[in-house]
Structure 1
Amino acid sequence: MATFDRRAFLRTTGLAGLAVGLAACGGETPGTGGGDAANGFGSVKLQLSWKKNVEFAGEYFADSKGYYKAAGFDKVELLSGGGSGTSVESGLATGRCWIGLSAPTITAPAILQGAPLKIVGATFQKNPFAVVSLSKNAIKEPKDLVGKRIGVQDSNELVWNALLKANGLDPAQVTRVPFQSDPSMLTSGQLDGYIGFVTSGPVRLRMQGHDPAYLLFADHGLPLVAETFTVTQDTIDNERDKLKAFLTAEIKGWKDAVADPAKSAELAATVYGKDQNLDVKEQTEEAKMQNELIVTPDSKANGLFTITENLIGQNIASLAQAGLNITPEQLFDMSILNEVYKADPSLKPA
């Protein structure tokens, strides 16, 4: 079972020296394979935010169905993230990856320390973080937190406090319990709820015979996008066509993934993540859950990965609640995706 450390809304590990490292990476980033529009884009490395499970089904489709190759890439290597591995932001600095999947709460601190990075799209329109509970003692609204015992990892303390602040709750009204991602603390009655991913926690509880409930952060005062495509400013400035080609392949892959949760699970469990001992049934249910975070009225209207100005503003406000004061222009650049959809409107949902 994956832990939730990598899903911390603020992680500073690996950020020391990041700005210097990225500033030194002028021109072609080391280790990306080179290539240009005339001769194809060569090989690139995409760093995932976690180990290879169904969260990255769109990437599996883009690879297995040849969308990357059709876009001009010889190969797109999918690098596992998570655990004690290098963060996407550090990976971009060192040339370990050319593009990565991260989160605003990880990328923003790097930018504020001087790293020339930008988010150019988001797979998840809603961040999956939630307070997971059981229906017999359900926590569905912020007011339900009062008097409850909630498992919170140290790495999530900042965002936990931001959630309370956004909903006018005093931390003293809730008992915070040290937590290391073990859901049995909930089912055994040691906790009333814990911070986890809505795409996995409730699914696993349900498969174990429990009736779960949850409070999604994104719907209760702390909206943030997730699985964000993060690149260097140099890539935007000097490899724009390459980046547009990559995002085009990604859109095609994720359209397929959204349409077929069962196939998404099969690719995750039997091909790309076959060494992770994944359960196909569980992965299928997780794929269905994550579709609700990916497909929203806005992404239906504007296309996958797009982030509206209104949602960007909400993200900036959420980051401020967590003590990260950054401007939209510093963190986001939606112009690349706008050009992709303008060039090929058929990429938008029917």
Structure 2
Amino acid sequence: MKHSTRLTRSRVIGGIGALAATAIVLTGCSSGGSSDSTDSAASGDLTPVSLQLQWFSQAQFAGYYAALDQGFYEDEGLDVTILEGATDIVPIDVLTGGDADYAISWVPKVLGSIEQGAAVTDVAQIFERSGTTQISMKDKNITSAADLKGKTVGSWGYGNEWELFAGMNKAGVKLDDISLVAQAFDMNGFLAGDIDAAQAMTYNEYAQVLETKNPSTGKLFTPDELNVIDWNTEGTAMLQDAIWADSDRLADDSAYADTTVKFIKASIKGWAYARDNAEDAAKIVTASGSQLGESHQLWMTNEVNKLIWPSTSGVGTINQDQWDQTVKIAMDTPNETGATVISEEPPATAFSNEYVEKALSELKDEGVDVMGEGFTPIDVTLKEGGE
């Protein structure tokens, strides 16, 4: 069902001050699946629902913006507000604090919160593959984790380092064998030559390098000038973007459980739309207020699609082997202080396929392709600065 573009800033709340804004948007309707949610005359008979992102508006979240823009949430009876993230916002804290109905976050980051008492459940594992890499210039001769020994290695920290540490551990490279530096959330240190191997998401920082001119050639860097360590290939990938819900509400509130199925269903339709209409999806995100350039936004949409499609078991399904690998790395891999993400297995409530399976069943009945077996990435030409 095609809807006219309706994405406005009133439906997408900015990250800075998002919590304060949420209180205004959801006044008198703090829980998307609660019985009193139907009293909201402003949204007609729609159930108000809020989604907390883990970062600012960008095509990493293209499926949710597409679902909003195309009316997929409305088709399911939901009035969805997207809350942007920021450096000072922890999505799971927003969810457990009652200020959002759902949140997007990486699994290893949330496992630590769960061990500390957060009652949340991974109800749809949207990203099946990891987008985290370690990149280097060709002349550094770094093609695998083993080659990091003796090098200056950048890491963002904040829970982004575990695949790197696990890859090094698997390759027999100790933290004492490298010079670990705190990498800013950009590629300036790498481009300046201060970092031999830098962390880079396939859909963001890697593109930042390719959008920059090589001072030696006067032309934009090309993939041929870079080496990439892919943690999917190295065998230490961890599950990333997932939809998280409140475990207690799922158990006690049937309306919230029903809303969860509807929200997942519409979100997956949004991701299928982004798969089949990458250019349009990128434009939708740009229209939401993202500060990233058009070519960068399209690159991001295309690369994120690669993390989702083709799907092994139906997009959103939490595959047991991938979950187990993520948990094992979280338990067995120490950081620079010797600490691990978690000290014991997470509870059974940490993930559930119950809701996504219901959503997938309905989508299949409606003829929506939830596997994406024929998915083919598009060719994207980056421009300087991502414009």
Task: Give yes or no for TM over 0.5.
Answer: yes
Cα separation, 2, equivalents of 1:179 and 1:148: 14
Q: Is the 8 A contact 1:37 1:242 kept in 2?
A: no
Cα deviation, residue 217, structure 1: 2.5
Letter in 2 for 1:213: N
* The one of 324, 327, 352 aligned to 1:333: 352
Q: Specify whether residues 35 and 134 from structure 1 end up closer, same or farther in structure 2 by C-alpha distance, changes over 3 A only.
A: farther
Other structure's SS at 2:198 match: strand
The 5-angstrom pairing of residues 53-64 of structure 1 reads 53-64=58-69
Deviations 1:157-204, CA, capped at 9 Å, x for gaps:
862433322332122222212322342322222221112312112212
Cα deviation, residue 321, structure 1: 2.8
Structure with greater helix share of residues: 1
For structure 2, the residue ranges without an aligned partner over 5 or more in a row are 1-27, 40-44, 213-219, 334-339, 373-387
Q: Specify whether residues 37 and 133 from structure 1 end up closer, same or farther in structure 2 by C-alpha distance, changes over 3 A only.
A: same
Q: Is the 8 A contact 1:131 1:139 kept in 2?
A: no
Partner of 2:82: 78
| Count of equivalent residues | 315
Partner of 2:262: 245
Partner of 1:318: 329
Cα deviation, residue 31, structure 1: 5.0
Length-normalised TM-score, structure 2: 0.75
Which stretch has the larger CA shift, 318-327 or 220-229? Answer: 318-327
Partner of 2:361: 342
Partner of 2:106: 103
Q: Is the 8 A contact 2:108 2:159 kept in 1?
A: no
Partner of 1:255: 272
Letter in 1 for 2:360: Y
Deviations 1:67-86, CA, capped at 9 Å, x for gaps:
0000011x20000112112x
Q: Is the 8 A contact 2:57 2:84 kept in 1?
A: yes
Q: Percent identity?
A: 20
- Structure ID, larger Rg: 2
Cα separation, 2, equivalents of 1:38 and 1:31: 11
Partner of 2:143: 140
Q: Is the 8 A contact 1:313 1:328 kept in 2?
A: no
Cα separation, 2, equivalents of 1:29 and 1:223: 39
The 5-angstrom pairing of residues 145-184 of structure 1 reads 145-156=148-159, 159=162, 160-184=164-188
Length-normalised TM-score, structure 1: 0.82
Q: Is the 8 A contact 1:316 1:328 kept in 2?
A: no
For structure 1, the residue ranges without an aligned partner over 5 or more in a row are 1-27
Partner of 2:20: none
Q: Is the 8 A contact 1:63 1:76 kept in 2?
A: yes
Partner of 2:96: 93
Q: Specify whether residues 290 and 35 from structure 1 end up closer, same or farther in structure 2 by C-alpha distance, changes over 3 A only.
A: same
